[in-house]
Amino acid sequence: MAYQRILTIQDISCVGQCSLTVALPILSACGLETAILPSAVLSTHTAGFHGFTFTDLTDEMPRINEHWQREKLKFSAVYTGYLGSSRQIDHVKEIVKTSMLPGGKLIVDPAMADFGKLYPPFTSEHVEAMKKLCFESDADIILPNITEASLLCDMEFRETYDESYIRTLIEKLEKQGAKTIVLTGVGYTVDSTGVVVYENKEFRYYKHYRYNKGCHGTGDVYASSFVGAYLNGKTAFEAAKIAADYTLRCIEKTHEDEGHWYGVKFEMVLPELEKAIFQ
């Protein structure tokens, strides 16, 4: 594959192994020159830490893009993660228009909800803005979980479901304008989870073991390793499988260490990710 410069847009939690502190090292390990656009800076992530600091960088986003345009800087792909407001989503849409190369790939992780609920402080306004980024901005790939998918296509969320429900969810996303869909967190038994990939009008499911203990930041690990594999020439299904295996290994390296409750030890498994992509 040709050397690529890509852009990832999400927040920086300085401590906590999520968002840009996960995306940047993973994408770099995948051989991609990775530019970043921070949407906010937090001293730590918000799950379990108390009294964290927060600096909103929404107003800086268009100024940074204006500088990039003056310097004629372009990106072969744009990958978005957590975006804190509908204003930020509007800025991202403009950046995609002005700073992505023709034929570049837009990959959207619509990180806004889980377990049937929106993250605080998001509202229906944020959902509507995310729909525009996923569908009207012509995203090449979206990576929602089941909650996010149900919100994007105005479908009832179900905690328990069957294959028919998942298939209907994906079909509705396609009707909304989605191209390739990578639906995460799909498990039909209590001890399994997996990912459903809809690519070139074909449904494929990759099932793997599910740990009962949740780990913060694994969604960012998954999305970043997926992007790294996909932009190195893997199909969406191949990339989804590589990312699932890598994320599971990160959890395995972490889950017995009770002191490491704030993220996963993804760094220790990076050589396995590289091998899976470049072997």
Q: What is the pLDDT of residues 31-75, one digit of tens each?
A: 999 999 999 999 999 888 999 999 999 999 999 999 999 999 999
What one-character DSSP code corresponds to residue 57? -
Please compute the mean of the pLDDT values over residues 259-274 and round it to a whole number: 96
| Residue listed under structure tokens 């992530």 | 45
DSSP 8-state code for residue 119: P
What mean pLDDT is predicted for residues 10-14? 96
User: Domain coordinates of the chain in residue numbers?
Assistant: 5-159+216-273
Reply yes or no on domain 5-159+216-273 having CATH 2.160.10.10: no
Res 177 pLDDT > 90: yes
Residue 196 is classified by DSSP as E
Q: What is the token pair recorded at 99?
A: 């700073």
Identify the pLDDT of residue 2. 83
Nearest to 79 by CA among 99, 102, 107: 107
3-class DSSP assignment, residue 239: helix
How far is residue 273's CA from residue 277's CA, in Å, rounded to a whole number? 6
- Note whether 278 and 255 are within 8 A (CB): no
Q: According to the model, what pLDDT value does residue 213 have?
A: 72
- Map tokens 């937090």 to a residue: 42
